[in-house]
Amino acid sequence: MIGESARNYLASVESRLQADGCATRWEGWFGVPVLVGRRADFRMRWMATNLHLFTVAAAVPEITPQSVDAFTSQVLTYAKQNKGGLPVGLQTGVAAFPVLVSERVDPAAMAWAEQQQRNRFACFARPVVVDSAQRYVGFYRGKPALGRVYASHLIDKGNRYFNG
């Protein structure tokens, strides 16, 4: 069962995404309502690339390392398929925040999310695990070698969207 604190958290994320200029909508994934937020940013300092940022958030009964890993893979595939424009790697990249929210979180899932950025070719994911009962948000806030040029942007967006 999904708790009220998880639903309230998703509503607050939706508001923060909209306030930052993201287009948002709700979709059904395997019978689960998910919030999808999207924006694109261009910076010369990113080697003149356009970065498509997807945030996909869902409330679930429980979060395990396996569930956050599987959701991250689904979100990266979705983002790559739905970004439009030039193929990834040709002056365009994809970043994603796969967000799972629950009142029941395996500490190993939190550690998995905070450990590192997950990478595919020209696609980066920073999984977010939210323990709505403890009011704790975990995601990677480092600057990895791959995608380092986008790291500050992703840390800023993650703090803006998920903390608070």
Rounded to two decimals, the pTM is 0.88
Q: Is the pLDDT of residue 2 over 70?
A: yes
Asked if residues 58 and 26 have their Cβ atoms less than 8 Å apart, the reply is no
Q: Name residues whose C-beta falls within 8 Å of residue 150's C-beta, 6 or more positions apart in sequence.
A: 46, 51, 93, 95, 124
Q: What are the boundaries of each domain within the chain?
A: 4-162
- Name, of 23-27, 92-96, 138-142, the range with top average pLDDT: 23-27
Average pLDDT over residues 129-145: 89
Among residues 116, 131, 118, 127, the alpha carbon closest in space to that of 158 is found at: 127
State both tokens at 108.
């190993």
